[in-house]
Structure 1
Amino acid sequence: MDRGVQKVRQSIKQRKRDRDRTKLNNRKTLPFTATDEEKHGFFDVPAYDISSSIKKTERKTISFHLLKATGSIVLFFFVAFLMQTNLPTLKPVKDWAHEVLHEEFPFAKVNEWYVSKFGSPLSFTPQGTVQVGQEEQAMALPVLGQVVETFSANGTGIMISPEEKTAVSTISRGVVIFAGNDRNTHKTVIVQHADGSKTTYGYLSSIDVHIYQTVNANQTIGTFQPTEDNEMVYFSIEKDKEFIDPSQVIKVDDIP
């Protein structure tokens, strides 16, 4: 009886071993697939939430622009109030603000300083290469022609009458602070110079320069073509808000 039970148990164990061996032999071998970390040698980096830092930066930027806008509005209303008030205590501040608001920026003076430091003109706007002359020639009239109206008769400048189409040139190096249509002198170019003076060239037929362009002495800034309606070029020199007789600056021989 015992031997029969043992045989049955041994038979069951043998079948179980055979069954396990069969499963092991029938198991498919899966191909090995390397991960990105195993291929490239890097590992997962802990993810950080940067949205909060971005929001903080955006809030700081908005606050900065809001502060600038608020400051600009306050400054605007303060200046408006200052210009309208007649309080004696604010008169010095009012006079200073008026002078600052109406005084032109010294582009030409800054440009001369830049040239002395770096050797080339300061470009306020994109433009071509500007050559700096070693020595400026003696000043001459901006156009070839006869002076038909003097400073004593005009009060602000002179009127020059060329006989034919001619180029209009600057009398000295400077920076163009106006190039366009003036209500009085129509097509006009105004050049600011390093000594604080301004020269005006009016009634031109065409303008060949643009605002904030650096120009050299005797450089062409436009042309003039005599017509029945316009036979003269206007030229004036102004310094410290006063007009100067061009004969005091340009050689007297050049003015008949």
Structure 2
Amino acid sequence: MNKGVKKVRKSINQRKKMRGTAGEKNTTQIMPSSFPQEEEKHGYFPIFTDDGRASKSSNGRITGFAIKGVLSAMLFLSTALLFQTDSELLSAPKEWTVNTLTEEFPFASVNQWYQETFGAPMALSSSPSADEGEALAFPVSGSVSETFQANGTGIKLAPEQETAVSAMQGGVVTFAGNNHETGKTVIVQHPDNSETVYGNLSSIDVHMYQFINRGQQLGIFSPGRDNKNVYFAIEKNNSYVDPVQVIEVDDAE
């Protein structure tokens, strides 16, 4: 009996040792997974760094939008309160606000003031203006095919061949695109707050808010079967004037 018990105990001890060895092997296989990876050894932690920068950038954009939103709301409310108030003290600011919202900004006048004040054209201007002392001229060479008295807004000029359409005076382009009545059209605002209109062009060579000089090319006109005339008009103080009269007066001076 004693020999049998000893054998059983020895057998149990051997099994325990075998289990312990297997446990140690499993431990050594699991341990390397907790070691630093190659990126971590070299100090590269993309997750934490990117998240921090992204959150800062996102917070900055949100703050910027919030500030713009608050300022816009304040401006809107101030304008609304201004128009709701009947105080005589606010009559001048109210009138200025109405004119600003309804009238076109005098780009050409501002550019002229800048030149007179600082002695040089604004950065948006291509070159100094040379309008003073020069006679006015039609935008193209050609006969008048339709007079101002015929339509009450402008005249039509009929060039015999393809030609460049030039600005009568220096100023800033306030419109360059398609018009339902005059096709491809360019409108130029001048320092005296007048505007000249050049319509029925074949192509346009200028863009919105571009400062131009007297005689600068605005586009090209190519006479064809459906387009034989360049439309030209002068508008001042919200009314049209006869371009022929204006240019003849300038020549006489």
Aligned residue pairs total 193
- What are the ranges of 5 or more consecutive residues in structure 1 without an aligned counterpart? 1-54
Answer whether contact 2:129 2:170 (CA < 8 A) is retained: no
Equivalent residue number for residue 70 of structure 2? 70
Aligned residue runs from structure 1 range 105-124, under 5 A: 105-124=105-124
Answer whether contact 2:131 2:169 (CA < 8 A) is retained: no
Q: Deviations over 1:64-114 (max 9, x none)?
A: 75243134135447768999xxx8959x78775443212111111111122
| Mapped partners of 2:147, 2:81: distance in 1 | 44
Shift of 1:120: 3.0
Residues 220 and 65 of structure 1, relative CA distance in 2, 3 Å threshold = same
Answer whether contact 1:180 1:189 (CA < 8 A) is retained: yes
| Mapped partners of 1:132, 1:253: distance in 2 | 18
Equivalent residue number for residue 172 of structure 1? 169
| Mapped partners of 1:79, 1:184: distance in 2 | 36
Answer whether contact 1:151 1:245 (CA < 8 A) is retained: yes
Shift of 1:201: 0.4
Answer whether contact 2:206 2:218 (CA < 8 A) is retained: yes
| Mapped partners of 1:252, 1:134: distance in 2 | 16
Equivalent residue number for residue 233 of structure 1? 230
Equivalent residue number for residue 250 of structure 1? 247
Residues 183 and 98 of structure 1, relative CA distance in 2, 3 Å threshold = farther
Asked if 1:224 is matched to 2:221, the reply is: yes
Shift of 1:146: 1.0
The structure with the largest alpha-carbon Rg is 1
**RMSD value over aligned CA atoms?**
3.5
Q: Among 205, 212, 215, which residue is 2:212 paired with?
A: 215
Q: Among 134, 154, 157, which residue is 1:160 paired with?
A: 157
Answer whether contact 1:111 1:121 (CA < 8 A) is retained: yes
| Mapped partners of 1:102, 1:68: distance in 2 | 24
Q: Deviations over 1:159-184 (max 9, x none)?
A: 11111111111111111111111222
Aligned residue runs from structure 1 range 12-31, under 5 A: none
Shift of 1:253: 10
| Mapped partners of 2:201, 2:102: distance in 1 | 27
| Mapped partners of 2:119, 2:96: distance in 1 | 35
Identity across matched positions, percent: 50
AA in 2 matched with 1:198: E
TM-score in terms of structure 2 length? 0.64
